[in-house]
Amino acid sequence: MKQMSITRIALAAALSAILSVSLVAPAAAARVYNPDSNLWEESTTVAARSKRGSAIAKAIVDYETTLKPGTIVVETSERRLYLVMEDGKALRYGIGVGRDGFRWQGQHKITRVAEWPGWTPPPAMRKRVPDLPAYMPGGPDNPLGARALYIGSTLYRIHGTSEPWTIGQAVSSGCIRLTNEDVTDLYERVKVGALVVVRQ
């Protein structure tokens, strides 16, 4: 009888230890699968990205300007693109911009738009990255994403991306990138001939 009591106490103590470890350990090492990167990530990384994502989510905001509705304003330092609307409002999108040495400013017009555009890397880019193909057909893996708005006669575009986690960062070679969802929304609202103002 006494032996059984000791055994029960020992089992209870062991079970308590196991439960305390199982309840505490996973919280410190929780990992979540990210299908975009095909990697397991710490939960703190996922939470930080979710917080950043909400900060750059599309939204209608107050925006006083003399520019006419339909104008696109890129505020590079803010990592934001504004589509000017009526009544002192604008539709704001989060964007990725050019990295150091590749940022620019100026005014141009949208000269062409395309759905699931193909991509021909410019010679200077192929020189920097020799592994790039001469041409990549449009599709989900194409760096230009779901839509592209071509800016004047420049090599720059406002386009989607197959790397949505780069929105809010300075990573491109000068193009302005949005998530595929946002660039598709913008594409539906903008006409060829619309003014694009890019500010540092």
Supply the DSSP string of 82-117, one letter for each residue: EEE-STTEEEEEE-BEE-TT----EEEEEEEEEES-
| pLDDT, tens only, 127-179 | 888 888 999 999 998 999 999 999 999 999 999 998 999 999 999 999 999 99
Q: Which three-class secondary structure state does DSSP give residue 6?
A: helix
Burial letters for 29-55: b for 16+ Cβ neighbours within 10 Å, e otherwise?
Answer: eeeeeeeeeeeeeeeeeeeebeeeeee
Q: What is the percent of the chain where pLDDT is above 70?
A: 72
The pLDDT of residue 122 is: 87
pLDDT tier at 125, thresholds 50, 70, 90: confident
Dihedral sign (CA 148, 136, 161, 73): negative
The pLDDT of residue 154 is: 92
Q: Amino acid letter at 5?
A: S
β-sheet bridge partners, residue 34: 39
| pLDDT, tens only, 175-195 | 999 999 999 999 999 999 999
| pLDDT, tens only, 63-89 | 999 999 999 999 999 999 999 999 999
Name 67's Cβ contacts closer than 8 Å, sequence gap at least 6: 73, 84, 195, 197
| Residues carrying an active site annotation | 159, 175
- The structure's pTM equals 0.72
